[in-house]
Structure 1
Amino acid sequence: MESEKFIFCLEGVPDVDKASATEVVKILEHIAMHQGIASIYKECDSIEGLEESLGNLLYDDHNFKDYEIIYLVMPGEPNNICLNDYYYSMEEIAELFEGKMKGKVIHFANRKILDLTDEESQYFLDVTGARAISGYGSDLNEISSTSTLDRVFFSLYQDNDDLKEVVEELFQKHYSLCQLLDFRLYY
């Protein structure tokens, strides 16, 4: 499978030892089969698991440069993720990723609200080296971004490196859903 850009997905689960194929795994398999976008999927139930998975990708995978999207599917409160009943702020996540995300797009599924100020988003981008951070401002959990907008966003980004154009096209094609879930891009 020839893919220009890969997805590295980290999903927060209650217990990695009891995990089974989630909706996210099925969606990533569908994206690989029908859109030709390869991905690596890892589960984590703690911040240590998140760090370990990220470390394995950074230091053991020689194709890390091909993983342009870091897809975080984790529950949480606005601007926080929750792992093992502990909340981590965007600042803590930025420090965890410090300098390791050069040129990457970090995308959060709508299991948590992403509502950063200009200062907060700039801090995150500066510390991580990420190209952009994206997610959703709505806490509407009845609609999963994983099965809807995320896959369209990944597909559009696969074909176009200009994030502004990707977001414009996303809104043109799915305006109502983008508005409903309040899609956001910080760059």
Structure 2
Amino acid sequence: MDDEKFIFCLEAVDDIEKTGVTEVVTILEKLAFEQGIGSIYKTCDTIEGLEDSLNALLYDDHNFKNYEIIYLVMPGEQNTICLNGYYYSIEEIAELFEGKLRGKILHFANEKVLDLSSEEAQYFLDITNAKAISGYGHAYGKQSSSGLDRAFFGLFEDSDDVIEIVEELHQKYYALCKLLDFRLYY
């Protein structure tokens, strides 16, 4: 990624009024300081907050075209996210992002499992216009995906080809990719 590209991160929290430094903030700071990859970090505790944050990015931030990755750090069950005790399916998420992710990669941290059928993946990509959706087949347990997320984002510094990036990620971090079951749908 050159200086003109960024990561937009939305993290689910119990209450947006409570502040604190999370592991995600630390990762994003390291990316900025060590690799020069800028980011915008926001929290949300409702689906409306998620939608408001995305709309603010889309319509108020004139640099939106420079955001390559939308990074969602949200708990949930397989192919859902959970906000404020409510579960939203991957189809509902696709409709929320309808037409808004042209050329973007939507990446989920391993706080939830991403296990899409080819039809579900194609539906999501068609509805959102995303370049790709990525995540993990194994949910957070003893191993957070934060290190692998950081490596994945860092590889965009040298290339925009998501296939090449994922191949390099697997070459450099094979054991961790297998352990977390890194997945890319494009």
Alignment check: 8 A CA contact 1:114 1:136 kept: yes
Q: CA deviation at 1:158?
A: 2.4
Q: Which residue of 1 aligns with 2:33?
A: 33
User: What secondary structure sits across from 2:157 in the alignment?
Assistant: helix
User: What secondary structure sits across from 1:159 in the alignment?
Assistant: coil
Q: Which residue of 1 aligns with 2:44?
A: 44
Alignment check: 8 A CA contact 1:13 1:19 kept: no
Structure 1 Cα separation of the partners of residues 5 and 115 of structure 2 = 26
User: Which runs of 5 or more residues in structure 2 are unaligned?
Assistant: none
1:77 aligns with 2:101: no
Structure 1 Cα separation of the partners of residues 141 and 110 of structure 2 = 7
Identity over aligned pairs, percent: 69
TM-score, normalization: structure 2?
0.97
**Residue type of the alignment partner of 1:12:** A
**Residue type of the alignment partner of 2:136:** Y
Deviates more, 1:126-135 or 1:159-168: 159-168
Q: Which residue of 1 aligns with 2:101?
A: 101
Q: CA deviation at 1:139?
A: 2.1
Q: Which residue of 2 aligns with 1:184?
A: 183
Point out 4+ residue stretches in structure 1 off by more than 3 angstroms.
none
The two structures, once aligned, show a CA RMSD in angstroms of 0.9
Q: Which residue of 1 aligns with 2:162?
A: 163
Alignment check: 8 A CA contact 1:4 1:158 kept: no
**Residue type of the alignment partner of 1:81:** I
**Residue type of the alignment partner of 1:51:** E
**Cα distance per residue 1:38-88 (max 9 Å; x no partner):** 000000000000001001000000000000100000000000000000000
Alignment check: 8 A CA contact 2:97 2:128 kept: yes
User: Which runs of 5 or more residues in structure 1 are unaligned?
Assistant: none
